[in-house]
Structure 1
């Protein structure tokens, strides 16, 4: 859930832009992924959790058009039909908002006229899925204004389509689904083919430590879409629907597969195995096993999928050294910058954070941003 200051900022933005009180206020959280990277669009498995940062939307029915105030940018948008803004820069907030509204219009659960004020506290460019948080929050607010009892999995699917078709990022379903369906104090093991979600309790004495590397990333501009294309080509080579259906031995023994395609495929098929094993380790409170799986995941992202950067590798190394066998650390998110996640005993947080501040020097020259949290609840009304 977003912080109280963000909720108040949203209310103030609504009053300033539209006057009076909103009909309702909703929130949707950002997320961090424990393990399972670039597996979601390969129909595989992921193990994310919601964080205590998110997007808040204050909404009211009325008028003959849709008016939107984005408090974080001091910008407005107004439209009658939710068409994509073709000349908008990559990542423009308006296309995320217009995208999810357009999807709801297709499902006939969007009112004709409304006012929306939006504010968020998920750091942008950090790999914590501010975009999915925005899409799910707006989607939930609009559906509630329409009086629709929208299924949260369906809402996540519409939000994913909005990101694919309006924002231009070929993301999988993970970010939107965990934002919509997360449970407090639990990670969510998601089967990205069936969309089955299995809550996995996070031990009560464990803390989630998120450290921003100081390297900003932008998925639309990065090699994210390129990696997805490479995975689809590898799946085509094996004549399977997605790399989820390929086996490690099959990948290693394929004589006519070039080295790049083999490494991309090897990451995905082994990451799926690691993710399922990590869910068992987490449920059993086997932090040493979980830590090893997280380390193997990071090595695979670095060597086979090639989505880490030197600063990220350095930061992960510091965290792994300090945590030892009592937890683990790895890069999280689409890659090429963003955040590192660590799971460790709560009693070790201060000492580990102090080591990061002492030994890690972000490329942007600023002190490292460190956030400590427990798994939060998914989207809902406030």
Structure 2
């Protein structure tokens, strides 16, 4: 689906007094495969039709100037001396991409960039990766420098890991850059090989935003990753396993007494989740929506109980969703501790589903949930190729 970014171009020209080029990157939702990516595991995300638009134009003083319309702020950096010193603000993400591109040997001249978009922030839909990939595409486009999907995703991940300091895996950047309309992506986060899978025509993905983001979300994500890595290190030492994705439940059980109980539980989630992703692949290939939904429900229970990364509000939305006619499955999506659920719903029931979820959640919590009916969209590379932005 083509989107018109002429308004973004016009606002950039009005602000900086120059014409620009616009590049867009979508958001993403992960259908199944949560917290598996940073141990080389399997995930099944899709790009969705919220976008960050990066509009870029030249300047002559060797600086990178970013204006964020969402934050109504401007940040300026001298490109030649840009180092990995994050400031703890929104501009760390685009600045980190410039830093990472320079690590790749890309020559970057001065530029003005306007960042705008409609990706919900803090909802688990990867607003940060959308900013990163949009920035990378804009800078590469202006430099007339081409990189393939793996390179774009990897440099954006490096920006988030080494510049921003967030312990993310590569799933978000990879699907934001390389997603394909009407397809889910099964991604092997170790090899970066991927398979595009058909989504049944008779269902829609509905995202329900709990509108809750608990204060411990960022720290909780880092804690969970540390707990996973502690367990993985035990498996490496005791069983000769390279990455957790190579471990079986039998391997984990054999090492149970040699790792903290929380690490055992976190690793159990990841091992079983990798298995669920493979089962979900088979379900999609067979058009078995019922089975796919059952796997989503099991994935949520694992995130809630073994990974302990859900919260009462999100659990409530899942419970409400599963009571509704036409809902095949529901689960938390994203890093956890709030944010969104992803729900698989009969296409003929989406209107009723959204109304019921919002009404029942509001009655129970007093919170008005945002709900979005989504289809799989093209990623940034496809958008740039077809001239949409």
| Alignment TM class, shorter chain as reference | over 0.9
With normalisation by structure 2, the TM-score equals 0.92
Distance 2:145 2:317 in 1: 45
**Which residue does 1:71 correspond to in 2?**
69
Q: 1:375 to 1:281 in 2, by over 3 A?
A: same
Kindly indicate whether the alpha-carbon contact (under 8 Å) linking 1:186 and 1:199 is maintained by their aligned counterparts in 2: yes
Task: Check if 1:83 corresponds to 2:80.
Answer: no
The count of residues paired between Structure 1 and Structure 2 equals 375
After alignment, is 235-244 or 33-42 more displaced? Answer: 235-244
Distance 1:364 1:354 in 2: 15
**Which residue does 2:109 correspond to in 1?**
112
**Which residue does 1:356 correspond to in 2?**
357
Secondary structure of the residue that 2:213 maps to in structure 1? Answer: coil
Kindly indicate whether the alpha-carbon contact (under 8 Å) linking 2:217 and 2:336 is maintained by their aligned counterparts in 1: no
After alignment, is 7-16 or 165-174 more displaced? Answer: 7-16
After alignment, is 344-353 or 191-200 more displaced? Answer: 344-353
Task: Check if 1:192 corresponds to 2:189.
Answer: yes
**Which residue does 1:296 correspond to in 2?**
298
**Which residue does 2:42 correspond to in 1?**
45
What is the aligned-residue RMSD (CA, Å)?
Answer: 1.9
Distance 2:56 2:365 in 1: 37
Kindly indicate whether the alpha-carbon contact (under 8 Å) linking 1:3 and 1:53 is maintained by their aligned counterparts in 2: no
What residue ranges of structure 2 are gaps of 5+ in the alignment?
Answer: none
Secondary structure of the residue that 1:133 maps to in structure 2? Answer: helix
Distance 2:364 2:58 in 1: 46
Distance 1:357 1:114 in 2: 43
Secondary structure of the residue that 1:118 maps to in structure 2? Answer: strand
Q: 1:185 to 1:10 in 2, by over 3 A?
A: same
Match of 2:261 among 233, 254, 259: 259
Kindly indicate whether the alpha-carbon contact (under 8 Å) linking 1:126 and 1:217 is maintained by their aligned counterparts in 2: no
With normalisation by structure 1, the TM-score equals 0.93
Task: Check if 1:149 corresponds to 2:149.
Answer: no
Q: 1:189 to 1:362 in 2, by over 3 A?
A: farther
Kindly indicate whether the alpha-carbon contact (under 8 Å) linking 2:207 and 2:340 is maintained by their aligned counterparts in 1: yes
Match of 1:138 among 122, 135, 140: 135
1:8 CA displacement = 4.3
Q: 1:146 to 1:277 in 2, by over 3 A?
A: same
1:351 CA displacement = 1.6
What residue ranges of structure 1 are gaps of 5+ in the alignment?
Answer: none
Distance 1:105 1:281 in 2: 43
Secondary structure of the residue that 1:306 maps to in structure 2? Answer: coil
